[in-house]
């Protein structure tokens, strides 16, 4: 059995900006809020962190800041995926050098590839690093979906530890786990599917929701682990409307608005992402009030 990088909830962190630059003061407060709230791990430069608009130096600086500020309190996973395999290798090596505990690697996007190409791509990176890799499947963004049989091939590599599954197809996830067994660690990539994914052998979630409520998302996972499945499901469903509101527009637009409401950033985004529509902002704020988050 492959040792999981973490079990429970990891927050896929936003990257706070101020006047076009990374706001490290706000980033530090956000990291501390997450850890003090009981989060199990942190993900930096994942989709929610807007890595597509970070230049190369910013990407490295943001990862390094998160690692140093976290200071070993929880594992830090660094997003180092690319649609250029050689660049993914280079970025992954540098992330390992600065102390990443693990790597989160999205499938190649835009140019995409075949299923055979996916195996070659991830194996090439895994052959060149000494930290565990969590493969990230998010076909709604990449236009490419990893098939269960491909996961089975990826699971054979000792450095490919897990998968963040955001495809939403529970039948495919079940097929994947039937093929891979304990040779892969499964994480939900969708906040509305934490309990269903854990019921198929998942280790937890890489979450957006946990920005607002790290303890509660941790508790959803912990309760399930303890066999308190009804209580876990009840908590999952309690936040269903909030989860929907956090994805009413393209992530991370709504969650940055939510964190602005909570005082952890100013909500600034980088184009082409643009500020949340007023009606969606008001609905999000109203739900947060109803749940006593603010």
Among candidate residues 131, 151, 164, 224, the one labeled active-site is: 164
Rounded Cα distance, 163 and 184, in Å: 7
Instruction: Indicate if the pLDDT at residue 1 is higher than 90.
Output: no
% of residues, the chain, pLDDT over 90: 99
Q: From 21, 16, 11, select the one nearest 208 (Cα to Cα).
A: 11
Is the Cβ–Cβ distance between 94 and 60 less than 8 Å? yes
136 is catalytic: yes
Q: How buried is residue 135: exposed, middle or buried, by Cβ count under 10 Å (0-12/13-18/19+)? A: buried
In angstroms, how far is the first alpha carbon of the chain from the final one? 42
| pTM over the 0.75 mark | yes
Q: Write down the mean pLDDT value for the chain.
A: 97
87 is catalytic: no
Tell me: the pLDDT tens digits for 117-141?
999 999 999 999 999 999 999 999 9
**SS3 breakdown of the chain: % helix, strand, coil, rounded to 5?**
50, 15, 35
Domains and CATH numbers, the chain: 8-226 (3.20.20.70)
Rounded Cα distance, 135 and 118, in Å: 10
- How many other β-carbons are positioned within 10 Å of the β-carbon of residue 109? 17
Tell me: the pLDDT tens digits for 248-292?
999 999 999 999 999 999 999 999 999 999 999 999 999 999 999
Rounded Cα distance, 282 and 84, in Å: 40
Among candidate residues 136, 151, 187, 239, the one labeled active-site is: 136
Q: How buried is residue 221: exposed, middle or buried, by Cβ count under 10 Å (0-12/13-18/19+)? A: buried
- Check residue 82 and give its pLDDT: 96
């Amino acid at each position: 059995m492959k040792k999981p990088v973490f079990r429970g909830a990891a927050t896929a962190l936003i990257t706070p900006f101020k006047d076009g630059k990374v706001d490290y003061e706000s980033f530090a407060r956000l990291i501390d809020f997450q850890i003090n709230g009981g989060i199990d791990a942190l993900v930096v430069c994942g989709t929610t962190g807007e890595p597509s608009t970070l230049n190369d130096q910013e990407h490295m600086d943001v990862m390094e800041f998160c690692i140093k500020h976290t200071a070993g309190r929880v594992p830090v996973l660094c997003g180092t995926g690319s649609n250029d395999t050689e660049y993914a290798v280079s970025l992954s090596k540098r992330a390992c050098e600065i102390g990443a505990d693990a790597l989160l690697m999205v499938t190649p996007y835009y140019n995409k590839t075949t299923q055979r190409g996916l195996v070659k791509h991830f194996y090439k990176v895994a052959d060149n690093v000494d930290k565990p890799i969590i493969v990230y499947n998010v076909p709604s963004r990449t236009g490419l979906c990893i098939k269960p049989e491909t996961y089975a091939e990826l699971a054979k590599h000792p450095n490919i530890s897990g998968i963040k599954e955001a495809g939403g197809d529970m039948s495919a996830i079940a097929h994947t786990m039937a093929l891979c067994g304990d040779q892969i660690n499964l994480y939900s990539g969708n906040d509305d599917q934490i309990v269903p994914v854990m019921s198929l052998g998942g280790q937890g979630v890489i979450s957006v929701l946990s920005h607002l409520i790290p303890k509660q998302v941790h508790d959803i996972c912990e309760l399930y682990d303890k066999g308190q499945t009804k209580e876990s499901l009840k908590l999952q469903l309690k936040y269903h409307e909030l989860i929907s509101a956090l994805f009413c527009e393209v992530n991370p637009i709504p969650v940055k608005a939510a964190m602005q409401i909570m005082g952890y950033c100013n909500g600034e985004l980088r184009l082409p992402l643009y500020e949340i529509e007023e009606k969606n902002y008001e609905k999000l704020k109203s739900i947060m009030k109803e749940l006593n988050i603010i």
